[in-house]
Amino acid sequence: MSKKAGIKELSPIDVYKLLPKTNCKECGQENCMAFATKIVNREITLDSCKPILKKENEKSYLKLKDMLKPAVKEVIVGVGEKAKKLGGKLVMYRHEFTYFNPTALTIDVTDEMPEQEIVSRIKRTENFSFEYIGYTLKLDMIAIRCTSGDAEKFKAVVKKVSEITNLPYILCTLNAAIAEAGLMAAPKANPLLYAANSENWKDMAELATMYHCPLVVSAPNDLNLLVSMVKTLTAYGVTDLVLDPGTFMNEGLGTTLNNFTMLRRAACKGGEELAGYPLIGVPMIAWVGKGEAADEIIKWKEAYLASMLVVRYADILVMHGNDGWALLPTAVLRQNIYTDPRKPVAVAPGLKVFGTPDENSPVLFTSNFALTYYTVASDIESNKINAYLIVVETEGSAIDSGVAGRKLTAERVADAIKASGVEDKVKHRKLIIPGKASRISGEIEELSGWKVQVGPRDSSEIPKYLIDKWQP
Amino acid sequence: MTTLPHHDKKDNKTAAAEGLGLSPELLDLLAKFQEIEVEDFQMDVSEMELFFTPGIAGQMPTLKLPSALKAKPTAMLQAAFVPPVETYPDKIAEVKLGGTRSEGGTRGRSIVIGGETSPAFYTFERPIVHSPIVTLDVFDMEVPLSKAVKMHVKDVIGDPAAWAKLAVEKFGADMVTVHLISIDPLLKDATPKDAVKTVEEILQAVDVPLVIGGCGDPVKDADVFAEITETFKGERFLISSLTRDMNIDRCAKFVKQNGHAALSFTPMDLNLARELNRRLYDYLGKEDIVMDLTTAALGYGLDYAFTNMERARMAGLMGDVELAHPMSSGTTNAWAAREAWLKMSPEWEPRELRGPLWEVTTALTLLLAGVDLFMMMHPAAVKTLKEVTKNLVKGGKVDTAKFADWVSVKA
């Protein structure tokens, strides 16, 4: 096995030593040391340093590039704005740093689907959109599978897909001749080619080289073969690889998780370069040999398999079911797992203004726990309500736990009203409080002098509540 | 714990699941609901410290390698993958729940949880020692329940013994959690003697080990737990839970003296968990403590719960004895997420499927962080978790030939 130096902790000093030390501020930082710190925290890219790109600094530049190289290579699929970066992982566990490049969620079409179905599946994939605490959750890619065995048919469908969407796609066929037909349909689309295996690897390698596209290396449950192929293909000159150790259901699930975990650990902890590539998982395996099972059962299985693979290191997933109820948990989980664990979970307390409130507009309060705040804020915003929202310091507690744990008290609410200055902005003195804080409503009235109205338990009901109950 | 009902006043008789044509096995368990029950959870993440390794930067555009002048290989080059197997200095404590007759109790069998010698399901390192298990919620009085759950338990609400029987016999619960809600001074303020009677009935009805859940009032819970642990000496209950605001000396003492086990609950902060466990060690042994590090729902802090548990497990294996305890998760908290129960626009429906899938996703995520004991709610979620766990523990042959078929399958 080829080894590179294990991922060692990099200090800003290590980076600083190799920088031009001009303190030119061209990168937008105060000096080179500040830039070095941003670099190790991955808050800026090396190429923002203009002097280091000069010829005379090439040696340092290459050295830095190597030092900063992630344990899992970053592979780009597609072109333009929607191009997708896969992998680029620095660490195995998210608490060690943070995960980059969220798992790409891919929905399939086949070359035997009626054109109308292809179009509608692609539109549905493109239109998948869910607003979640300030993020928009989306799907990322299309997998085009050749089920016909007919190169011309495949080519026509690839052409069609490339015309109707900018989403990157995977060409799925183990037949190199068919793959080539697909590549010819849109030669510059930089698709991910699925897949090279022990039999077709040479032809697939030729195609990947010729069309400069990334290539999946497939060796179901054979990691020796997998790394052998990586060694062979890189020697061949194919450098953008994605690894497919196979995805197995039911009693094979443990093997699946083991293979993904071993590969990622070997890459991140063992410095094994042959394992240092993005991993592809195929939850749509649930549809193979489906038999009499109801579609919903298969979708259910596919969905939980996808979620388990999001947790266990998959960088890209191929799915067939495209129902919102099945995709949403996986999409939310992906967002959760890929949030920066260094990110604070509290927002700044204070007065937030929504729309254009006047002196008769409602005044509400919520906690400063980020998830609570964003949920409430998005409910107010999306319904175009004009209102004042007081964010009370609850030390990052949600409403119910804040009340229970005495982090959300009437004193804090009263203080927050005073500090917010809202008393100068509205002429009424009515405060709408979260339903889950009803226990402290009496105390709030007493301490603040405001009249309290107990609002809904869930902020989704705020719009209706205001219509029914709000009178300044 | 407290109940946090979400009311949806509309009573829509056309259960969407009925029209789905799903197989009865799983889909019987998936149905429409209107109100849901949520365990109280405290999320004190502001205090959570997050360790990260400063300094591994990357994600840079890849360098163009100088084009190799070497000839392209004509045959496969061989390489071997060495499984990255590690050993860990410590192991997770084993905790036995449920006392059999020979042990002074009445349970049909005991269940041991914990004992891990590797991170969760790293079976390439070592086989699973004890399978994670599921305990189902049973309430001692009428509480607001999701309709999806309610439809499965409607005949037994108000009859905890019958409810427990149903949980074990029909839903496959490994254990039953008796939630003594009625002792809440703000609700029925039932006496410790009343609670003893309820527990007695359940012990008669089922022979699985029990978790005894309080109402969340630190003083009342202690009084009730005292009575129950003493009355049922030898039953080896899991007392749920001991929290920092309780009289720990008193509680730990009666748990130990009567041979039970304690659930040590802390609000998502490993330092607080260590601190509480240290206080418990004055009376209880390692084999007497299960810890609950707080479960937040998918979409509402699950990332913190996951990382907290993953870190705790890793720390335990690496020799941090104060965290080397089996972990319990109040997975029912998944229903705190509005996406689990809210009627949403049509593209996200039916919620009858979305809701239990929310619970399963929360459970499976935490299964991979190392949870040993799941406190759960929806029968379909329970069924799936048990199935997955069984497959992971047992393992089996892998059909590699079938895998490639996904490319050409006409789904």
Q: Which domain holds residue B198?
A: 28-43+88-394
Is A269 close to B84, i.e. CB distance below 8 A? yes
Q: Is B373 on the interface with A (CB under 8 A)?
A: no
Per-residue model confidence as pLDDT tens digits over A105-129:
999 999 999 999 999 999 999 999 9
Per-residue model confidence as pLDDT tens digits over A342-364:
766 678 899 999 999 999 999 99
Average pLDDT, chain A: 93
Q: Is B10 on the interface with A (CB under 8 A)?
A: no
| Across A137-141, average pLDDT | 98
Per-residue model confidence as pLDDT tens digits over A166-224:
999 999 999 999 999 999 999 999 999 999 999 999 999 999 999 999 999 999 999 99
Is B76 close to A112, i.e. CB distance below 8 A? no
> Which band of pLDDT confidence, cut at 50, 70 and 90, is reported for residue B7?
very low
B145 and B37 in contact (C-beta within 8 Å)? Answer: yes
Phi/psi class of residue B241: alpha, beta or left (left: φ > 0; alpha: ψ in -120 to 50)? beta
Residues 91..110 of B with a Cβ closer than 8 Å to A: which? Answer: none
pLDDT at A68: 87
Q: Can you tell me the distance from the alpha carbon of A345 to that of A156, in angstroms, rounded to the nearest whole number?
A: 49
Q: What is the CATH number of the domain that holds B37?
A: 3.20.20.20
Per-residue model confidence as pLDDT tens digits over B248-271:
999 999 999 999 999 999 988 899
> Which band of pLDDT confidence, cut at 50, 70 and 90, is reported for residue B341?
confident
Identity of the amino acid at B158: G
> Which band of pLDDT confidence, cut at 50, 70 and 90, is reported for residue A401?
confident
Q: Is A1 exposed, middle or buried (0-12, 13-18, 19+ CB in 10 A)?
A: middle
Q: Is B360 on the interface with A (CB under 8 A)?
A: yes
A9: closest chain B residue by CA: B55
pLDDT at B317: 98
Residue pairs between chains A and B whose CB atoms are closer than 8 Å: 362
Looking at the 3D structure of chain B, how many domains does it have?
Answer: 1
Q: Is residue B147 part of a domain?
A: yes
pLDDT at B28: 63
Q: Residue B137: helix, strand or coil by DSSP? A: strand
State the nearest Cα–Cα gap between B392 and chain A, in angstroms: 5
Q: Is B310 on the interface with A (CB under 8 A)?
A: yes
pLDDT at B23: 46
B139 and B160 in contact (C-beta within 8 Å)? Answer: yes
For chain A, what are the domain ranges? Answer: 12-67, 74-337, 350-469
> Which band of pLDDT confidence, cut at 50, 70 and 90, is reported for residue B53?
very low
> Which band of pLDDT confidence, cut at 50, 70 and 90, is reported for residue B58?
very low
| Across A266-277, average pLDDT | 95
pLDDT higher than threshold 90 for residue A226:
yes
Out of A12, A96, A288, the one facing B53 most closely (by C-beta) is A96
Per-residue model confidence as pLDDT tens digits over B151-161:
888 899 999 99
pLDDT higher than threshold 60 for residue A412:
yes
State the nearest Cα–Cα gap between B410 and chain A, in angstroms: 7
Per-residue model confidence as pLDDT tens digits over B184-228:
988 899 999 999 999 999 999 999 999 999 998 899 999 999 999
pLDDT higher than threshold 50 for residue B34:
no
Is A42 close to B58, i.e. CB distance below 8 A? yes
Out of B43, B54, B368, the one facing A398 most closely (by C-beta) is B43
Residue B370 tokens read as: 């190392």
A346 and A368 in contact (C-beta within 8 Å)? Answer: yes
Q: Is residue B337 part of a domain?
A: yes
Is B357 close to A235, i.e. CB distance below 8 A? no
Exposure of B48 in the CB half-sphere (CA atoms within 13 A): 32
pLDDT at A344: 62
**Residue given tokens 């626009």 in the structure block:** B345
pLDDT higher than threshold 80 for residue B4:
no
Is B303 close to A172, i.e. CB distance below 8 A? no
B148 and B396 in contact (C-beta within 8 Å)? Answer: no
Out of B6, B44, B51, the one facing A458 most closely (by C-beta) is B6
pLDDT higher than threshold 50 for residue B318:
yes
The residue length of chain B stands at 411
Report the CATH number of the A12-67 domain: 1.10.15.40
Chain B residues with CB under 8 Å of A12 CB are 55
Residue A332 tokens read as: 């939310």
Quote the ipTM score.
Answer: 0.86
State the nearest Cα–Cα gap between B223 and chain A, in angstroms: 20
Chain B residues with CB under 8 Å of A284 CB are 406, 409, 411
Out of A9, A293, A300, the one facing B56 most closely (by C-beta) is A9
Q: Is B187 on the interface with A (CB under 8 A)?
A: no
Residue B290 tokens read as: 């299960």
pLDDT at A405: 74
Q: Which DSSP symbol is given to B334?
A: G
Chain B residues with CB under 8 Å of A210 CB are none
A108 and A142 in contact (C-beta within 8 Å)? Answer: yes
Using CA atoms, how far residue A204 sits from A360, B68, B289, in Å, is 69, 19, 56
| Across A454-470, average pLDDT | 92
Q: Can you tell me the distance from the alpha carbon of A232 to that of A153, in angstroms, rounded to the nearest whole number?
A: 32
Residues 424..443 of A with a Cβ closer than 8 Å to B: which? Answer: 436
pLDDT higher than threshold 80 for residue A396:
no
Alpha helices in B232-328 (DSSP H): 248-257, 270-281, 302-317
* Percent of chain B clearing pLDDT 70 (strictly above): 83
Give the distance, in angstroms, between the CA of residue A449 and the centroid of all CA atoms in the same chain: 46
Residues paired with residue B177 on neighbouring β-strands, in sequence order:
B137, B211
pLDDT higher than threshold 80 for residue B49:
no
Q: Give me the phi and psi of B262, to 5 degrees please.
A: -115, 145
Q: Is B169 on the interface with A (CB under 8 A)?
A: no
**H or E, element range at A433:** strand A430-433
pLDDT at A42: 81
Chain A residues with CB under 8 Å of B396 CB are 250-252, 254
**What is the DSSP annotation of B11-37?**
---S-GGGGG---HHHHTT----S---
Q: Can you tell me the distance from the alpha carbon of B388 to that of B26, in angstroms, rounded to the nearest whole number?
A: 14
A395: closest chain B residue by CA: B46
* Percent of chain B clearing pLDDT 90 (strictly above): 70
Is B398 close to A73, i.e. CB distance below 8 A? no
Per-residue model confidence as pLDDT tens digits over A22-72:
999 999 999 999 999 888 888 888 888 999 999 999 999 999 988 888 999
pLDDT higher than threshold 50 for residue A241:
yes
Preferred mutation among A218, A328, A406, A460 to probe B, highest tally of B CBs within 10 A: A328
In chain A, what is the straight-line distance between the N-terminal and C-terminal CA atoms, in Å? 73
Of A289, A193, A199, whose CA–CA distance to A250 is shortest?
A289
Q: Can you tell me the distance from the alpha carbon of A170 to that of A145, in angstroms, rounded to the nearest whole number?
A: 8
Q: Is residue B142 part of a domain?
A: yes
pLDDT higher than threshold 50 for residue B309:
yes
Out of A149, A197, A224, the one facing B81 most closely (by C-beta) is A224
Q: Can you tell me the distance from the alpha carbon of B139 to that of B150, in angstroms, rounded to the nearest whole number?
A: 12
Q: Give me the architecture of the A74-337 domain, per CATH.
A: Alpha-Beta Barrel (3.20)
B127-133: long-range pairs with CB below 8 Å, 24+: B128/B392, B128/B393, B129/B94, B130/B94, B130/B372, B131/B389, B131/B390, B131/B393, B132/B367, B132/B371, B132/B372, B132/B373, B132/B374, B132/B389, B133/B174, B133/B175, B133/B372, B133/B373, B133/B374
> Does domain A350-469 fall into CATH 3.60.15.10?
no
> Which band of pLDDT confidence, cut at 50, 70 and 90, is reported for residue B42?
very low
The CB density around residue B92, as the number of other CB atoms within 10 Å, is 26
B80: closest chain A residue by CA: A224
Out of B57, B400, B409, the one facing A68 most closely (by C-beta) is B57
In chain B, what is the straight-line distance between the N-terminal and C-terminal CA atoms, in Å? 45
Lowest mean pLDDT among A332-341, B229-238, B357-366: A332-341
Using CA atoms, how far residue A115 sits from A157, A161, A173, in Å, is 8, 10, 19
> Which band of pLDDT confidence, cut at 50, 70 and 90, is reported for residue B10?
very low
* Percent of chain A clearing pLDDT 90 (strictly above): 78
Q: Can you tell me the distance from the alpha carbon of A51 to that of B391, in angstroms, rounded to the nearest whole number?
A: 56
* Percent of chain A clearing pLDDT 70 (strictly above): 97
B290 and B327 in contact (C-beta within 8 Å)? Answer: yes
Q: Can you tell me the distance from the alpha carbon of B50 to that of B67, in angstroms, rounded to the nearest whole number?
A: 43
Looking at per-residue pLDDT, the higher value among A78 and B294 belongs to A78
Out of A93, A252, A404, the one facing B42 most closely (by C-beta) is A404
Q: Is A5 on the interface with B (CB under 8 A)?
A: no
Identity of the amino acid at B152: H
pLDDT at B140: 95
Exposure of A386 in the CB half-sphere (CA atoms within 13 A): 9
Average pLDDT, chain B: 85
Phi/psi class of residue A165: alpha, beta or left (left: φ > 0; alpha: ψ in -120 to 50)? beta
pLDDT at A372: 86
Q: Is A456 on the interface with B (CB under 8 A)?
A: no
Residue A450 tokens read as: 């405001």
**What is the DSSP annotation of B226-240?**
HHHHHHTTTS-PEEE
pLDDT at B17: 37
Q: Can you tell me the distance from the alpha carbon of B310 to that of B304, in angstroms, rounded to the nearest whole number?
A: 10
Residue A317 tokens read as: 């997933």
A201 and A230 in contact (C-beta within 8 Å)? Answer: no
pLDDT higher than threshold 90 for residue A247:
yes
